[in-house]
Amino acid sequence: MKRLLYIALFLLGFDACVEPYDFEVRETDEVMVVDAVLTNVSEHHTVRLSISYALDGEQATNVSGATVSVEEVGGMQYAYTEVEAGVYESDLEYAGVPGHSYILHVELNDGNRFVSSEEFLPSPVPIDSIYGRYLEQNSQVDESQLKGVQFMVDNHNNSEEFSSYRYEYREDYEVKVPYPSSYEWLAAEEVLELRETYIGTCYRFLESNELIAETTSGQVENRLSEFPIVYIEDNEAQLRYTFSLIVDQFSITPGAYQYYKNLKENNESAGSFFDKQKGTVLGNMSHVSDASYPILGYFEVAGVSTDSRVFRAGSFRDQGFSPIQPYNCIYDRVADSVAVEELPKYSGLGFSYEVYQLTFPSPDTAIIITSTCSDCRKHGTLDKPDFWDQ
Amino acid sequence: MRYLILILFLAVAQLGAAQTPDSVRLDMVLAEIESHTDYEFSYRSEWLNGIYVSSKVDYSQPIVPQLDQVLVNTVLTFYIMGNQIVLLNNQEIVTEPVFVQSINSKQEVVPEDEDVVFSREQSGQDLSLEETLLDVGNRKLYEKGKRSTLAGYVRESGNGTPVQDAYVYIESPFIGTTTDAEGFYSLNVPNGKRTLLIQSVNMKNTHRRLMMYSDGRLDVDMAVDVIALNSVVVSAEREANTKSPQMGLTKISPENMKIVPALLGEKDLVRVATTTAGVQFLGEGSAGINIRGGKADQNLFLFDGTPVYNTNHFFGFFSVFNADALSGMNLYKSAIPAEYGGRLSSVFDIKSKEPNKEKYSGSGGIGPVTSKLMVEGPTFKNGPTFMVGGRATYSDYVLNKIKNSPLKNNDVSFYDLVGKLDYEINDKNSVSVSGYYSKDRFQLSSDTLLSYTDFSYSNKLLTANWRHVFNDKLQADFQAGMSQYDYDIGYDVLPTQAFRIDYGVKENHLSAKFDYYVNEKLNYKFGMQVKHTSVTPGIKSPTGSESLVDKDRVPDEQGVELAPYASALYSPTDKLSVEGGVRLSMFAVLGPGEVNEYAPNQPIDQNYVIGTDTYGKNEIVKTYIGPEYRLSSRYSLTETSSVKASYNRTRQNIHLLLNSSSIAPTDMWRLSGPYIKPQISDQVSLGYYRNIYGKHALEMSAEVYYKHIQNLLDFKVGADLQFNKHIETDLLQGTGKSYGIELSLKKSSGWLTGWINYTYSRSLIQLDGDFPDEIINGGEFFPTGYDKPHYLNSVTNYKFTRRLTMTVNFVYATGVPTTYPTGKYTFQGSENLLYSDRNSYRIPDYFRVDLGINIEGNHKIKKLAHSYWSFSVYNLLGRDNVYSTFFRVEDGEVKGYKMTVFPSPIPTITYNFTF
C-alpha cells in the first residue's frame, strides 16, 4: 500500500515523506515470553523463558527457577531441567509423535502457573526441491531495481486437505581473500614460518532471523510451488563462491500459522494509510487461574523435515546473474613491502597485517597485506560444512 | 384626506427634486467632500448622470448626517465602511433585519385602517411587477380586520430553482417567515393593502404590493443579484440559527465551496464540511470523516436520496461528488429528522443541481489533476430539463509520459458522471430521474506489502422521484432508488498464487414521504421506507493457468428493512417550537445461509463450533426491531437568542469492517446478522444560540452533546477482514461513548466574513469480553482511533473588491491516538514488538493553514461566459503534519518512522467558467 501511496503522490507531483521518528515511551511492560518448540525429531527439546525488555535494551532477562514439563495427552509427562539461565531442556531425548497432542506446563517459583492449549502435532511433509532463480524486483526501501537470486521450495502433501508451514534456513558460503598469506609471523620467536594451512578460503553461515510462514489453505491442491525462502542480492557475499541452503520445514497447526502471521504483521508495519490496528499478539499460553494475566510466546508443536542443496559458484550465470565483487582489496592500497629484517618493528603484524609473499628470486623483502585481504579467518572459519562433499 | 396629504407631499418632493439655480452636479459635490475629508465614495458613474443636489455642506460639522440631506431628493442611498462610502442605486442596505428595527423603534405600531382599493388606482400603465397591485383571494370574501393566509413559492427567475431561506415579511404590523427547501412560505396577513418584502442571499431584494382579500397564493420570482455576489446582504439563513427548532444542521452551498481553498484545485463539498463545527477528518489521504466522535462508517451520504457507499476517489484526496453538478448539502449531526435512518452519526443529504429551465448553460473547470464540465438546459418547450456532468483525471496520460521509471507499468485513473432529467408535468406533479456513476482503477506492477496488485471500484446510483401535490396542505414524494458499490482486487506477482476477489453491495429502496401542512403552527411528516440490501462479501477466483488458488466464495448476505416514520412540528407560540418523531426500524436477515453455532461459555472460535444451522432462500435468519425516537425543540429567550434541546436514537444495520482508523477502498460493508448486532446510538444535545445585529451581524452558538453507542464494532488484534468466512470469530462489539462541546462564531456580512469553531470532544470505547483476546486495555474505556479532543478550525474570507477575494483557512487538532511499541521480546530468534495498551499514545498535533485567492472576471450579465481563477496554497506554512507513525524491527532494532503526506506547501491554479 505504501507503493500505492507513493504513486498517488507522485501523480499529484508531490512527495510524501517518511522520516525517522523519535518517540518516547512512558514505561516498558515486563511480560514473560515462552519460546518452545517440540518436533518429531528425537532430541533434547528446549523451552526458553525470558522477559520482554525495553526497546533500547540489549538483552532479555531470563526466567530461572521454573518448573517445566510437556505432557503428552493421554501419555507421558516429560520433565525439563534448566541447563542454563532461562533455557530448559528435556531430561530425555524424545520425539513428538505426529497425530498426538501435547501440553506445555510452566510453573514459576512465585507460584504462577501457566499452561498451553492442547497442541496437535502435524505430520512432517517432505521438501520436493530447493532451487534458485534470477529475479529483478523493485526495492521496498527506495525506487531502485534489485538484482538477485530468489531461492524457493516446492512441496506437496496429498494426505491432507491443507497444510501450514514455518521455515527456517541456514546459508553456508565460501569466503575468499585475494592475497592469502603464505607465511605466518611468530611474534614471540620473531620468526617467519611457511603456513601449513591455506587461509585463502573460509566458510561462513547466516541463519534466518525472520518469521516465514505459509499455508495452502484455500488452494485447489495441497502443494507449495515456488515458495520464496530467501532473496540474495548481487551485492551480498553468499553467491560469490560455493553456497548451500539448508531449509527446515516445520508443519505447524493452523493456529500457529495465524499466530506467526499476526506477529509478522505487527513487526513489519509499512506505515500505509490503512495499517491494521497494532497490539500485542497473544499466543496459546495462558495463566491457569487468571485469564487476564499477560503472557507472550507460543508452544509450537511441529513435524519437521529438512533438505539442503549446494550451489557451485556461477550456478546462475546462465540466467544473467553475476555477483558484485568488493573493491576493498585493491593491491596498491593494501600492500606494503618491508625488508625481512625490519619485520619485528612492523606493528600490527600477525593481527592487522599478514605476510603475503616474499620477493622472488631473492626473498629479502616481505610483501605485507591488510589481514582482511589476506586472512579469510577474519570473515569466517576454516571448517567446511560436512555435507558439501557428499 | 389622507390621499390629499400624500399627493401634496409628493408634489413638494417633486419640486425639491427639480433643478434649482443653486444646485450643482452630485459628482462634483462628492468630489468636493472627498477633497475636504478622508472619505472616499464608491459608485457607478451612470447613477449620477443628471443628478443635481444642493451643495451646502458644512465641513466643520460631521459629514454623515449632512450626506442624508444631500441625497434626500435622489434615489441614492449610502452605506459607510470605515472611510469608504458606498453609494447604492435605489437599494437599501440593511444591517439588521427589519423586524429588529421594528422592535427597536419606540414608535407604536398603529393598525392602519386600510380600505379596499379601487381599480382606478391600478389604471396607470407600464407599471413594473413590483409596482402593480396584485389581488390575492376572492374579493367577495373580503372581511375587513380579519386575517388571511398568504402562501406560495419563491423561485429563482430564469431557472425556477426554489429559493430556500428567503426572508418573506410585511413590515407593519411585522409578520415574517422564511421559505423552506422547496421555496415555500406561508404567512397570516391582515386583510387589506400590504407590501410584501422578499430578501435572500445573493438575490436582488424585491417586493410585491398586495391587496389581500382572503386566503390566496402568491409565487414570487427573484432575480440573481449579479452585482452583489457575496455582497452585503442580509442573510435570511442567519435566522435559522436562532429560529429553527433543528439543531446540529450545517448547510453547505456552492458559494461556500468557492470560498474554502481547495486541495489541488478541486472544489469539494465534503471537504468544506470539515471546516464547520464538529466535523473532523483525520488528515490528508484519509477518507473518513468523524462526526461527534462517530466512526467513519456511521455517516449516511445521500445523493438525491440514495445512499453512496464509497464517497472517495483516490484514497480520499477527492470526494466522488462533482461540485458543479450539486445544488448543496445539508449535514445533520444531531436531531436527525425521522425521515432519515440507517446510520448512527450523521446524514449528508446531497442534492444534485436543478437544471436550468430557460436556456442551455453550463460550467466547467480546468485544474492540475482533474478537469470537469457540466451542461444543463431544457429539451423542448415546457418539456423535461436535463443536466449532465463529468469529471476525469489525466493521471493515466501523465504516467504514460514517464519513461524508464519503476512506475511506468502502473496505471491509475478515476472519473465520474452524473446526469439528471427533471420534468414538471403540471402544478401538481413533477418527476425527476438522476443517475451517478464513478470508477477508480489502479494497476500496479508489484506490491508485496499490499498482497494485491490491481484493484478497481465503482459506484452506480439511480434514483427516480415523483412529487405529487395533493392540495395546498399535502404533498408527497415517491421515490425508487438503487445504489451499487463493487470492487475487485487482484494479485499476480506469484503466478501460483494469482487470484482476484470480487466484492459488491447493492441496495434497492422504495420510499413514500408525505408532508402535511396543517397551519403555521403544525406540520406533519410521515412516510415509509423499504430497503433491500444484498452483500457479496467475496468471490475468490484463480487467475492465469498456473494458479493453484481454489475458486471460493464467502456466502452472500441479504436483508430487508422496513421503516415507517412519523413526525410533527408544533409551534404553539412564537417562542416555542417542538418537533417530535419516531422511526421504527424493522430489519430481517434473510437466507439462504449457514450459521455456525458455538459452544456456550467458550470463545467464538473455529475450534468451538458445535453445529451449523442452514436456512433456505428468503427464510428469516434473524430479526432486529427497534424504535428510533427523534425529538428536538427550540425556545426563544429573546428575538435574537434561543435555547434548543434534542434527543435522538439511531440504529445501523450495515457496518463497514474497519480495522484501521481510516477508510480503505477495500473495506467491506457487511450486514447485521446472528453475530453482528445492530449498532444503536443515543444522543442528547443542548444548545444556546444568539445572533448579534449591529453594524456587523454575528451568529454564535454553543452546543453540548453526549452520545452513548451500543454494539460499537471493533476487532481483535490481527483480525483478517478480507475474505473471512467467519467474521464473528474476529469481531468485538462494545460500548462507545462520546461527549463534547462545540462553540461556533460566524460573521456573514461585510467585506470580512468567515467562521471560527472550537470543539472539545472525546470518543471512547470499552471492549470487555469474556476471553483474553476479547479484552482490550483491561476492559476499561479507552480512546478510539479518531478521538481528537481539541479541534479548532476557521475560514476567513476577505473581499478586496467585488472581483478579488482572499480566504485563509486554519485547522488545529490534537493528534490522533496510536499504539506504540513499549518493549520487545525474543521469540524463535527474531525480535518482536510488545505494544502498549491500545491507543494510549498520540501522534503530534495537526496544524495547517491554507490560502485561497479567487479572481473573477467582470460581472456583466450579457457576457458570454463568466469565469474566475482560483489560486490556492494548501499547507501554506509547509508544516509536516504527521499522518501516521509506525515501527519496524530492522536487524533486531526497533525503528520508529513518521509519515507526512504533504510536507510542503502545494500551490495550484484552477480556471473555472460558467456559460
Q: Which residues of chain B are within 8 Å of residue A270 when distances are taken between CB atoms?
A: 449, 886
In a domain, A170, yes or no: yes
As assigned by CATH, the class of the B1-91 domain is: alpha beta
Domain check: are A212 and A223 in the same one? yes
Residue B585, amino acid: S
b/e per residue, B436-455, with b = 16+ CB within 10 A?
A: bbbbbebebbbbebbebbbb
Q: What's the pLDDT score for residue B2?
A: 46
Mean pLDDT in residue range B229-257: 62
Three-class DSSP labels, B477-496: EEEEEEEEEEEEEEECCCHH
In a domain, A20, yes or no: yes
CB-CB neighbours of A71 under 10 Å: 17
In a domain, A85, yes or no: yes
Closest residue of chain B to A146, computed from CA coordinates: B406
DSSP A43: B
In a domain, A267, yes or no: yes
| Coil, strand or helix at B123 | coil
Q: Provide the pLDDT confidence category of residue B31 given band limits of 50, 70 and 90.
A: confident
Contact A292 B775 (CB under 8 A): yes
* pLDDT tops 70 at residue B240: no
pLDDT in tens, B37-57: 778 887 777 777 777 777 677
pLDDT in tens, B756-812: 999 999 999 999 988 878 888 888 999 998 899 999 999 898 888 878 888 898 999
For residues B78 and B41, give the distance between their C-alpha atoms in angstroms, rounded to a whole number: 9
A222 lies within 8 A of chain B by CB:
no
Q: Which residues of chain B are within 8 Å of residue A21 when distances are taken between CB atoms?
A: 882, 885, 896-898
Q: Which mean pLDDT values do the consecutive 10-residue runs of chain A (390 residues) have?
A: 47 59 83 95 95 85 94 94 95 95 95 94 96 85 82 94 94 94 90 92 92 88 91 93 96 92 80 70 90 90 96 92 87 90 89 90 90 93 88
Residue A74, amino acid: G
Pairing state of beta strands B906-914 and B361-366?
antiparallel
Looking up cell 429560529 gives B243
A contact residues 167-186, partner B, Cβ 8 Å cutoff: 168
Contact A17 B836 (CB under 8 A): no
pLDDT in tens, B146-191: 888 888 888 888 777 888 878 888 877 777 788 888 888 888 888 8
Domain check: are A107 and A189 in the same one? no
Contact B772 A282 (CB under 8 A): yes
| Coil, strand or helix at B241 | helix
For residues B276 and B257, give the distance between their C-alpha atoms in angstroms, rounded to a whole number: 12
Q: Indicate the helix (H) or strand (E) that contains B308.
A: none
**B176 or B9, greater pLDDT:** B176
**Bridge partner residues of A336 (DSSP):** A368
A contact residues 17-36, partner B, Cβ 8 Å cutoff: 17-23, 25-31, 33, 35
| Phi and psi based region of residue B445 (left: phi greater than 0; alpha: psi -120 to 50; beta: remaining) | alpha
pLDDT in tens, B52-102: 777 677 777 777 777 777 776 676 777 776 777 777 765 544 443 333 343
Domain check: are A187 and A284 in the same one? no
Considering chain B, tell me which residue range(s) the CATH 2.40.170.20 domain(s) occupy. 249-426+446-914
Q: What's the pLDDT score for residue B95?
A: 42
In a domain, A306, yes or no: no
Grid cell of B641 as nine digits: 437568542
- Which ipTM did the prediction report? 0.83
Domain check: are A27 and A42 in the same one? yes
Among A230-244, B280-294, B431-445, B741-755, top mean pLDDT goes to A230-244
Domain check: are A274 and A139 in the same one? no
Q: Which residues of chain B are within 8 Å of residue A138 when distances are taken between CB atoms?
A: 406, 445-446
Mean pLDDT in residue range B214-229: 70
A73 lies within 8 A of chain B by CB:
no
Domain check: are A24 and A83 in the same one? yes
Q: What percent of chain B has pLDDT over 70?
A: 84
Measure CB to CB from residue A267 to each of B607, B778, B833 and give the nearest one: B833
Q: Is B270 within 8 Å of B328 (Cβ atoms)?
A: no
Put the strands of the sheet holding B84-89 in their side by side order: B40-42, B84-89, B76-81
- C-alpha of B14 from chain center: 51
**B519 or A83, greater pLDDT:** A83
**How many domains are there within chain A?**
3
B908 lies within 8 A of chain A by CB:
no
Q: Provide the pLDDT confidence category of residue B632 given band limits of 50, 70 and 90.
A: very high
Range of the domain at A354: 183-202+326-389
Mean pLDDT in residue range B354-377: 87
In a domain, A368, yes or no: yes
Average pLDDT, chain B: 81
What end-to-end distance do the CA atoms of chain A give, in Å?
Answer: 46
Total residues found in chain A within this entry: 390
Contact B542 A220 (CB under 8 A): yes
Q: Provide the pLDDT confidence category of residue B665 given band limits of 50, 70 and 90.
A: low
A50 lies within 8 A of chain B by CB:
yes
A158 lies within 8 A of chain B by CB:
no
Rounded to the nearest angstrom, the minimum Cα separation between A247 and chain B is 15
In a domain, A363, yes or no: yes
Q: What's the pLDDT score for residue B286?
A: 63
Q: Is A227 within 8 Å of A158 (Cβ atoms)?
A: no
Domain check: are A276 and A333 in the same one? no
Q: Which residues of chain A are within 8 Å of residue B833 when distances are taken between CB atoms?
A: 266-267, 278
Domain check: are A82 and A224 in the same one? no
What end-to-end distance do the CA atoms of chain B give, in Å?
Answer: 54
**B87 or B422, greater pLDDT:** B422
Contact A277 B835 (CB under 8 A): no
A206 lies within 8 A of chain B by CB:
no
Is the Cα torsion angle B258, B263, B265, B268 positive or negative in sign? negative
A44 lies within 8 A of chain B by CB:
no
| DSSP code per residue over A126-162 | -EEEEEEEEEEEE-SSSSPEEEEEEEEEEEE-SSSS-
Mean pLDDT in residue range B115-121: 40
Domain check: are A131 and A245 in the same one? yes
Q: Which residues of chain B are within 8 Å of residue A228 when distances are taken between CB atoms?
A: 494
Q: What's the pLDDT score for residue B106?
A: 37
B315 lies within 8 A of chain A by CB:
yes
Domain check: are A169 and A195 in the same one? no
For residues B412 and B790, give the distance between their C-alpha atoms in angstroms, rounded to a whole number: 36
Considering chain B, tell me which residue range(s) the CATH 3.55.50.30 domain(s) occupy. 1-91
Domain check: are A232 and A192 in the same one? no
Contact A279 B835 (CB under 8 A): yes
Q: Is B627 within 8 Å of B583 (Cβ atoms)?
A: yes
Q: Which fold has domain B249-426+446-914?
A: Maltoporin; Chain A (2.40.170)
| DSSP code per residue over B155-208 | EETTT--B-TT-EEEETTTTEEEE--TTSEEEEEEESEEEEEEEE-TTB--EEE
Closest residue of chain A to B444, computed from CA coordinates: A4
Total residues found in chain B within this entry: 915
| Coil, strand or helix at B28 | helix
* pLDDT tops 80 at residue B325: yes
Q: What's the pLDDT score for residue B107?
A: 37
Q: What's the pLDDT score for residue A60?
A: 82
Among B58-72, B402-416, B514-528, top mean pLDDT goes to B514-528
Domain check: are A137 and A61 in the same one? no
Q: Among B772, B616, B69, B202, which Cα is nearest to A279's?
A: B772
Q: What's the pLDDT score for residue B239?
A: 62
B909 lies within 8 A of chain A by CB:
no
Contact A286 B772 (CB under 8 A): yes
Q: Which residues of chain B are within 8 Å of residue A53 when distances are taken between CB atoms?
A: 823-825
Q: Is B268 within 8 Å of B257 (Cβ atoms)?
A: yes
Grid cell of B630 as nine digits: 427523534
